Structure 1
């Protein structure tokens, strides 16, 4: 199964924020959308960074509540690891594990086209394993 299959099922909507937006705006987006990360994008849907709940907590611990008045660009994770739609679930799980990343923006031709989370990857991986087990049972029974 590929990243494209995940996006086809869950949709391609991505909550994004401008690098110059204030942190309190990004935190509001995280809360209102019940998500763990927002993708920071430059014009042309180019990924500039990622801001996660972990980043917000780290900023609060380091700078206090004043960090909420800072631009997202100052506190985001700019070394973003992304993936493409043709990558397999095993590929993205390996990246997520190696990089300790819970979210991967999906890019095509340098543009943001979606996002996958570790939950998406695990859910689809389990589904594939269950399907394979059912096929094996059917083969043995048949």
Structure 2
């Protein structure tokens, strides 16, 4: 049986730090730091996902615009072409999607609402657990 995104969300929780598009980059950076996370999801009208802002986006904005970027709204530096996944996706499909799109964070969307977020760290942690379970099963089989 393949593990799904739902399994990851059930284990880690479904809370997602979100911000409005008009929040400043500086305020968003502070939120990332305070919550010890690498990305925030930007919600627009009707709480629809309109973007994602990552640490990399902030670094790129500072490199391009200098300190003035900190006063800019996140809507000017966020990633608008947001790749999303669903709870039904398998972890293998999720990994392929993250690798091919070079995405470290993917919002989870279901019924046009934000259901959670998964990071590459969540996927790696899940993969390591699966390998450890398989190793234990092999040891039990050999010992049995």
Give the superposed CA RMSD: 1.0
Residue of structure 2 equivalent to 1:81: 83
Q: Which runs of 5 or more structure 1 residues have no equivalent in the other structure?
A: none
- Compute the TM-score of the two structures, normalised by the length of structure 1: 0.96
Per-residue deviation, residues 63-102 of structure 1 (Å, max 9, x unmatched): 0010111111111000111101111111111111111111
Q: Structure 1 segments of 4 or more deviating over 6 A?
A: none
2:129 aligned with 1:119, yes or no? Answer: no
1:21-65 superposed Cα distances (whole Å, 9 cap, x missing partner): 111111111111011100111133311111000000000000001
- Point out where structure 2 has 5 or more consecutive residues left out of the alignment: none
Whole-angstrom distance in 2 between the partners of 1:7 and 1:108: 13
State how many pairs are aligned.
142
Q: CA deviation at 1:130?
A: 1.2
Tell me how far apart the structure 2 counterparts of residues 120 and 40 of structure 1 sit (CA, whole Å). 21
TM-score (norm 2): 0.94
Structure-2 separation of matches of 1:88 and 1:98: 15
Q: Which residue of 1 aligns with 2:9?
A: 7
**CA distances 1:78-136 after superposition (whole Å, capped 9, x unpaired):** 01111011111111111111111110000001111100000000000110111112112
